[in-house]
Structure 1
């Protein structure tokens, strides 16, 4: 006779693949990034490339991702540095 044990929780991943974020509006890029890495993934740093007169990033949907680090497809871990550079749409 065999005894079935209690189900075990799946371990959270420790590495992820950096999604392609360039060209997306910042709101969609942040949502995709968070969906990809979840709560255990690295923080996504935001770099504002717009002139100071453009103001702070208050409405992410009004900003376009111009560059990202690391490149799409790169392997990232919880301690990896990840960032996107943003500007107003059409200003990349």
Structure 2
């Protein structure tokens, strides 16, 4: 049962990375328009770091005794905050 939970969590984390990359990328693009270069770079760096944290969560899920649920909840809340504050406009135009 533990292996099945880890596989499901890995799929959820990978989906989070894909969701962060595609619509999140458009959200970052729209957010950075009209902002100063420093703010745009800072937000872009945080966006990439957030994607890397998802990959870290996959690693920690399989190779440590961390709670899978804690990672899932933390990253889900991070996604909610990211998409309600920075990446609100995810249109392609």
Common fold: TM-score over 0.5: no
Name the one with the larger strand percent: 1
The TM-score normalised by the length of structure 1 is: 0.29
Larger radius of gyration: 1
Higher relative helix content: 2
TM-score for the superposition, normalised by structure 2 = 0.29
**Of the two structures, which has the highest relative contact order with CA contacts closer than 8 Å and spacing of 6 or more?**
2
